[in-house]
């Protein structure tokens, strides 16, 4: 297969592009997956499982240069994996997915992540969101680019917020930048999400929405990469049954809503 060349989604340089696992391969992303587009979701039959194309090596994109891929993997991959396996441990100690999927109410859990490096975890989250949204997004958000590509950099502008939730599955989703209006409580924001069990990672630019997970981990950017902490988080525990970001409803809740997508979506443009 011919090598693919183009602009790296993160640093923006023209180079040969490598396959970037999102999330990292060692974070439970080393299995065959089936990729479904928004159209696959929209045009599936009522109650049908959407069908897409098979990708053997896991979830990801041919989108980054070798330097970005290798540097960030060595800097953040090990720490990110520790968070992922702790997330799995928290879920396995919970009630289990079957009874929760039959319950229309939301569930929450408070969990401690001991001896972790919050800054390195957040840097990997920012890096993944840059990969999903592409080089034009990185160009327009240089502070995110610098934060991800400089291991020692501390701090981000206050406009950027990151939300974390625990996720059972059964599906995953990578959603580029889109706008949402909260029709229940008011407010609007731009969101991008990576939902891949055991976590959902959401970038918010704009107002806080009542429909977002309550756990805002933006403060992790203020830690030094060498800081080790015990971090206590209050996390929503939900599912990924629908294609748009931050929809964590159980199967029962989706059915009770008639299968509708809640809220008003304004656009979906990874180039923003």
Q: Is residue 243 part of a domain?
A: yes
* Both tokens assigned to 173: 């989703």
Q: What is the pLDDT of residues 14-58, one digit of tens each?
A: 999 999 999 998 988 888 766 665 555 555 555 555 555 666 667
What is the DSSP track for 167-217?
EEEE--EEEEEEEEE-TTT--EEEEEEEEETTEEEEEEEES--TTS-S-B-
Show the tokens assigned to 266: 């304004």
Q: Is residue 127 part of a domain?
A: yes
- pTM strictly above 0.85: yes
Q: Is residue 215 part of a domain?
A: yes
Q: What is the pLDDT of residues 202-232, one digit of tens each?
A: 999 988 887 788 999 999 999 999 999 999 9
Q: For residue 21, how far is the Cα from the chain centroid?
A: 13
Whole-angstrom distance, CA of residue 211 vs CA of residue 263: 9
Instruction: Calculate ∠ Cα 22-126-121, nearest 5°.
Output: 85
Based on the structure, what is the number of domains in the chain? 1
Residue 27 resides in a domain: no
Does residue 14 sit in helix, strand or coil?
strand
Query: Which domain, by its residues, includes 188?
Result: 80-268
């Amino acid at each position: 297969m011919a090598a693919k060349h183009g602009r790296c989604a993160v640093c923006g340089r023209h180079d040969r592009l490598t396959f970037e696992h999102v999330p990292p391969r060692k974070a439970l992303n080393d299995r065959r997956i089936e990729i479904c587009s928004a159209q696959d979701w929209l045009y599936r039959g009522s109650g049908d499982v959407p069908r897409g194309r098979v990708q053997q090596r896991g979830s990801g994109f041919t989108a980054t240069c070798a330097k970005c891929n290798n540097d960030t993997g060595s800097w953040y991959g090990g720490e990110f994996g520790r968070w992922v396996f702790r997330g799995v441990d928290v879920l396995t100690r919970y009630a289990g997915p079957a009874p929760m999927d039959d319950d229309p109410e939301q569930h929450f859990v408070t969990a401690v992540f001991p001896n972790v490096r919050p800054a390195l975890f957040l840097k990997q989250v920012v890096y993944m969101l840059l990969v999903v949204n592409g080089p034009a997004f990185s160009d327009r958000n240089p502070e995110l680019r610098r934060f991800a590509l400089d291991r020692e950099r501390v701090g981000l502008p206050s406009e950027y917020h990151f939300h974390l939730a625990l996720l059972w599955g059964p599906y995953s989703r990578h959603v580029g930048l889109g706008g949402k209006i909260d029709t229940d409580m008011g407010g609007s924001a731009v969101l991008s999400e990576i939902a891949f069990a055991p976590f959902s990672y959401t970038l918010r630019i704009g107002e806080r929405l009542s429909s977002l997970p309550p756990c805002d981990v933006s403060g992790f950017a203020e830690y030094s990469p060498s800081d080790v902490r015990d971090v206590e988080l209050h996390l929503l525990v939900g599912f990924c049954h629908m294609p748009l970001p931050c929809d964590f409803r159980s199967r029962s809740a989706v059915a009770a809503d008639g299968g509708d997508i809640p809220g008003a979506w304004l656009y979906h443009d990874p180039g923003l």
